[in-house]
Structure formats: C-alpha cells, structure tokens
C-alpha cells in the first residue's frame, strides 16, 4: 500500500521539502508520496480529520500553521512546546502526534559540517531572540553547553527568553560581545540579519578564537555577510541549508521507515 506524506502551508509553492523527500523516496525505491498541499487556516481542522482517517502517515507543517496545530494534535512533544512550534506530524492508530525537528536539523548540520563542535563546548553565542532562536537554544541545551549567551538588538526580548528557558541562557546587548567573544567557540545567527545581504555592524569576529565555528540559519543567500566575514578571518563556517536538509531526516524515517542520508546532491 502506498504511504503518503505532505507539507501543509499557506501559501506553499516555495517549499523545498517535496524535492528533498521525493529524492529520498526514489533513492530507496519506496512506494510513497510526499506532496505540498495548500491548506488555508480555516481548513486546518478538516485536514486533521483526513489525517486521523489514515490518509497520510504524517507530514510537515510550515507557515502559518506551526502554532495553530498545537490545539489540533492529540499529543505534542514537550520540546516542541518549549520551542513553541510543531513542524512535523506523525499519525498512528488514528491519533496525530506533533514534534519539532528543527533542533535536530541544527545539530545534524553542525555535526556534519564541523565534527566535534560541541566537545567540551562551554560558551556559545546566539544572535537574535525571535521565534527561530528557540529551537537553537533548546538544541544547545540538549548538548549540555554550559553558557549560552543570547544577544539581541532589543535586550528585553532576550531577557524574557533567557528567563523562560533558563539552563545557562543569559541575555546580552551587543556592546558586551567583545568581552564574551574570546571564550566563545560557536556563534549562531538566528536573526533575519543577513537575509538581505546585511551584516551586524557591531560584531568584531576577529576577537573570536581561531577554533571558533560560525553558522547561520539563514540560507538565502547561502553565504551571508556573517559567514563571508568569518571565512575571511579563517574561521570554520557552516551554512544554514544543511539545517533544512537534516530537519527532514526524522520525519522521513517516521513515515517511511528508512533513515535517509543527507548527501551533497540535495543541496543543488
Ligand atoms: P523569527 O521568528 O524568524 O526569528 P522574528 O521573531 O521577527 O523572526 O525575529 C527576528 C530577530 O531578528 C529578532 O531577534 C530581531 O531583533 P529584535 O528583537 O530587536 O527585533 C532580529 N533583527 C531583525 N532585524 C534586525 C536588525 N536590523 N538588527 C539587529 N537585529 C535584527
């Protein structure tokens, strides 16, 4: 019997997920489908009935549904609750379980691009305290990073998030970067700075140790100004496209029963 999966969003035409999952389905000769389905917010609850009826093994959820699906799922992973978004649904016995694989995608991408990055990692810097920062902070906490320094233009937003997540997360204004940089071995940009070719003008990356890794979750452009600057200083960089590819792995495995490999041809 054919196993079906999906990505739902509104609009949905920009999604790269069908290409990723389609490549893996073909590679493993699986009798399955993965389609992008446009579901308007008002139709979300009816779509969940199709899920419960067994039409799909599960699928991905993207904008604008990542928060709304909480109320519709029969169960939700505690980490997805902390992150505040569900991006993956798995159906079993007429019930829908919601999870978030973004933090696993972030970890998988760094593990592949900078092996050993988290070994004895004591200080990490996270730039930006918006919705996207939450999955990154949870990921770093899950690897036991002792001190996670959260920098944001609006300090209060960072302070609120740090107080909520606890476990080593502290909030900073950018003026403190030069003090923290020398003991930092990882810098992650989670903010939208970089999407339009813009850079943080108050970050002196030259203060980082030469063993530091710099990564950006923005992947358009693939080489953000932050990554270009880090590369020019000879620092190890990991771009954000791999996070998208790696976050797809746990979903595919849950729906189709095979753990796929992230290969470079998927980046094309
Ligand atoms: P997302 O949910 O995708 O993370 P968001 O919630 O709008 O998006 O958050 C965007 C992040 O980028 C925020 O941390 C924002 O900083 P503020 O909290 O001060 O708004 C940050 N950001 C956006 N533009 C910025 C800029 N020009 N300089 C510095 N930070 C910026």
CATH number at residue 125: 3.40.50.720
The reply to whether 129 and 235 lie within a common domain is yes
User: What global pTM score does this model have?
Assistant: 0.92
Residue 268: what pLDDT? 79
- Provide mean pLDDT across the span 70-99: 96
Atom of ligand 1 nearest to the CA of 132: 4
Q: Is residue 45 part of a domain?
A: yes
With a cut of 90, say whether residue 265 has pLDDT above it: no
Atom of ligand 1 nearest to the CA of 157: 18
The reply to whether 40 and 108 lie within a common domain is no
The reply to whether 71 and 50 lie within a common domain is yes
How far apart, in whole angstroms, are the C-alpha atoms of residue 241 and residue 134? 18
How far apart, in whole angstroms, are the C-alpha atoms of residue 175 and residue 235? 22
Q: What is the pLDDT of residues 147-201, one digit of tens each?
A: 999 999 999 999 999 999 999 999 999 999 999 999 999 999 999 888 888 888 8
The reply to whether 27 and 127 lie within a common domain is no
- Say if ligand 1 is within 6 A of residue 171 CB: no
Domain tally, the chain: 2
Give residue 159 CA to ligand 1 midpoint distance, Å: 14
Whether the CA torsion 196, 198, 200, 204 is positive or negative: it is: positive
The reply to whether 115 and 217 lie within a common domain is yes
ipTM: 0.94
CATH number at residue 52: 3.40.50.10860
Percent of the chain with pLDDT over 90: 90
Phi, psi at residue 171, to the nearest 5°? -100, 145
How far apart, in whole angstroms, are the C-alpha atoms of residue 106 and residue 80? 14
**Chain mean position to CA 47:** 25
Residues 6+ apart with CB under 8 A from 74: 95, 96, 97
- Say if ligand 1 is within 6 A of residue 128 CB: yes
Q: Is residue 256 part of a domain?
A: no
Give residue 162 CA to ligand 1 midpoint distance, Å: 16
The reply to whether 14 and 135 lie within a common domain is no
The reply to whether 129 and 154 lie within a common domain is yes
Provide the phi-psi class of 117: left if phi over 0, else alpha when psi is between -120 and 50, else beta: alpha
Q: Is residue 20 part of a domain?
A: yes
Residues 6+ apart with CB under 8 A from 191: 127, 128, 130, 132, 133, 152, 153
28 lies in which domain range? 3-100
The reply to whether 235 and 213 lie within a common domain is yes
Six-digit token string for 101? 């694989």
Active site residue 66: yes
The reply to whether 223 and 120 lie within a common domain is yes
The reply to whether 131 and 220 lie within a common domain is yes
Give residue 251 CA to ligand 1 midpoint distance, Å: 28
Average pLDDT across the chain, whole number:
95
Bridge partners of 99, per DSSP, are 88
Q: Is residue 255 part of a domain?
A: no
Phi, psi at residue 181, to the nearest 5°? -50, -45
With a cut of 90, say whether residue 220 has pLDDT above it: no
Q: Is residue 259 part of a domain?
A: no
């Amino acid at each position: 019997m054919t196993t079906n999966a999906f990505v739902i969003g509104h609009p949905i035409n920009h999604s790269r997920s069908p290409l990723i999952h389609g490549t893996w389905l073909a590679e493993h000769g699986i009798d399955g489908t993965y389609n992008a389905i446009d579901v308007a917010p008002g139709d979300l609850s009816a779509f969940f009935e199709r899920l419960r009826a067994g039409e799909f093994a599960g699928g991905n959820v993207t904008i604008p549904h990542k928060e709304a699906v909480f109320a519709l799922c029969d169960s939700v992973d505690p980490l997805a609750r902390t992150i505040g978004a569900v991006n993956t649904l798995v159906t079993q016995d007429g019930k829908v379980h919601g999870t978030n694989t973004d933090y696993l995608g972030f970890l998988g991408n760094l593990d592949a691009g900078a092996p050993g990055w988290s070994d004895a990692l004591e200080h990490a810097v996270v730039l930006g305290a918006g919705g996207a920062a939450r999955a990154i902070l949870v990921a770093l906490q899950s690897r036991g990073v002792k001190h996670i320094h959260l920098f944001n233009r609006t300090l209060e937003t960072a302070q609120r998030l740090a107080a909520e997540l606890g476990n080593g997360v502290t909030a900073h204004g950018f003026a403190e970067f030069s003090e923290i940089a020398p003991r930092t071995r990882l810098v992650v940009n989670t903010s939208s700075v970089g999407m339009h070719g813009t850079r943080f003008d108050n970050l002196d990356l030259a203060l980082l140790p030469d063993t530091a890794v710099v990564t950006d979750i923005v992947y358009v452009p693939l080489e953000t100004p932050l990554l270009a600057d880090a590369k020019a200083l000879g620092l190890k960089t990991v771009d954000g496209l791999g996070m998208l590819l790696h976050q797809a792995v746990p979903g595919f495995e849950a729906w189709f029963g095979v753990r796929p490999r992230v290969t470079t041809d998927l980046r094309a």
